[in-house]
Amino acid sequence: MASGIKDKVAILGMGCAKFGERFDADAEDLMVEAFEECIADAGIDVSEIQAAWGSTTFDEMGVGKSAIPYSQALRLPNIPVTRVENYCASGSEAFRGAAYGVASGACDIALAIGVEKLKDTGFGGLPNMNPGPLKSQWWANMTAPGGFAQLASAYRAKHGIGKDDFKRAIAHVSVKSHANGVLNEKAHLRRPITEEDALNAPIIAEPLGLYDCCGVSDGAACAILTTPEIAKSLGKGPVITVKALQIAASNGTEASFNQWDGSHFLTTRVASQRAYEEAGVKNPRDDLSLIEVHDCFSVTELVTMEDLHISPEGTALTDVMDGFYDSDGTIPCQIDGGLKCFGHPIGASGIRMLYEMYLQLLGRAAERQRDDVDLCLTHNLGGFPHENVAAVCIVGRHE
């Protein structure tokens, strides 16, 4: 019977490149930048890595279709290297591959790395995603801002929230994240904004304005994973382990049937509940110390608070406005600035979120450091509200 991977996998080291308009670097340069920090942190030689998983979403614009560029750029020792892609949850998928490799006993030390090079593509936003022939008729005029604006409308309608109250709440989400991003030297956008800035910004897709949307960036992040026993033998302390890692993919119900009202992410609700069960979390509102969620848009973060079963349904707006998720709140969300300030190099985002949680658990987050950090959760979402994949990971110190 399946027992999950709680405390079977330890994070030996992590690294993160500077996110931003990295016209000075190609995808391989960004991978090397993140990897050099990661392997120095792990305290091992590259020859000790036994398997690797790399994530990139837009292959032709980054590293290509195969996994060979990862191996070549990092001079990996002729080990198995697998390229994975799962929309915007690709980074979490790479981390899952490495974690499962270690947990299964197939390897003792594994690498997960994610990279994306978007600023050289010539697009103002993300390049077109091909959903396949069966979905192309549904996605013909779909844009990310348009899809998530529909989420906002559905949520407002379901809970009877006035337009002005809702816009102030999502503005608070963005203001909070920008304030946090100012303190992060690796973030792309490091300028504080005011509520007035957010409310008066140009509309991208009603009700989402410019400051409700995350940016497009280049970046890379990586992790080296092993067993807790090996981590301890190498002198690591405290040892940070994976408490849960769950992924849920849409099966078509949201897009094809009438049970889904468009106001939430079914996959996030499913993946988070599975993760809590795997980690032994009884009450996430009481048990979690920090969270990083997929704030591609400010409304996504607000809705996700309920889908993660932290804010009771219909109350996320109140929690947001009360400062529950602020840096000095009960459960800070996006304490590093989130996608809002890092931007979203797709293949890297899921691992970048874990990088901040890792720093916080080790007390290395400098001005951002939060006291009494115990359990930390990351949430990485790919696709559109009606058709997506959600990844939830929980990490903490080894018991």
Residue closest to 221 by CA, chosen among 375, 67, 389, 53: 53
Q: What is the pLDDT of residue 122?
A: 65
Among 172, 188, 294, 344, the active-site one is 344
Contact in structure between 30 and 115 (CB atoms under 8 Å): yes
Tens digits of pLDDT across the chain (399 residues): 688 999 999 999 999 999 999 999 999 999 999 999 999 999 999 999 999 999 998 866 668 888 999 999 999 999 999 999 999 999 999 999 999 999 999 999 999 999 999 887 666 666 655 555 555 445 556 788 899 999 999 999 999 999 999 999 999 999 999 999 999 999 999 999 999 999 999 999 999 999 999 999 999 999 999 999 999 999 998 999 999 999 999 998 888 878 899 999 999 999 999 999 999 999 999 999 999 999 999 999 999 999 999 999 999 999 999 999 999 999 999 999 999 999 999 999 999 999 999 999 999 999 999 999 999 999 999 998 888 999 999 999 997
Contact in structure between 377 and 284 (CB atoms under 8 Å): yes
Among 16, 38, 88, 393, the active-site one is 88
| Residue 107 bears catalytic tag | no
Q: What is the pLDDT of residue 160?
A: 96
Contact in structure between 298 and 208 (CB atoms under 8 Å): yes
Number of C-alpha atoms within 13 angstroms, CB side, residue 335? 30
The span from the CA of 347 to the CA of 61, in Å, is 12
The span from the CA of 250 to the CA of 262, in Å, is 13
Q: What is the pLDDT of residue 79?
A: 98
The span from the CA of 7 to the CA of 227, in Å, is 8
The span from the CA of 103 to the CA of 308, in Å, is 25
Kindly state the helix (H) or strand (E) to which residue 12 belongs, with its residue range.
strand 10-16
Q: What is the pLDDT of residue 368?
A: 96
> How far is residue 194 CA from its own chain's centroid?
25
Tens of pLDDT, residue by residue over 83-101, are 999 999 999 999 999 999 9
Residue closest to 223 by CA, chosen among 309, 308, 350: 350
Strands 375-384, 387-397: parallel, antiparallel or unpaired by DSSP?
antiparallel
Q: What domains lie within the chain, and their CATH numbers? A: 10-119+218-233 (3.40.47.10), 144-212+237-397 (3.40.47.10)
The angle, 0 to 180 degrees and rounded to 10, between the axes of the packed helices 298-307 and 266-279 is: 50
Query: Quick check: bond before 312 cis, omega within 30?
Result: no
Q: What is the pLDDT of residue 212?
A: 96
The angle, 0 to 180 degrees and rounded to 10, between the axes of the packed helices 346-362 and 90-103 is: 60
The span from the CA of 26 to the CA of 370, in Å, is 34
Q: What is the pLDDT of residue 3?
A: 83
Contact in structure between 102 and 8 (CB atoms under 8 Å): yes
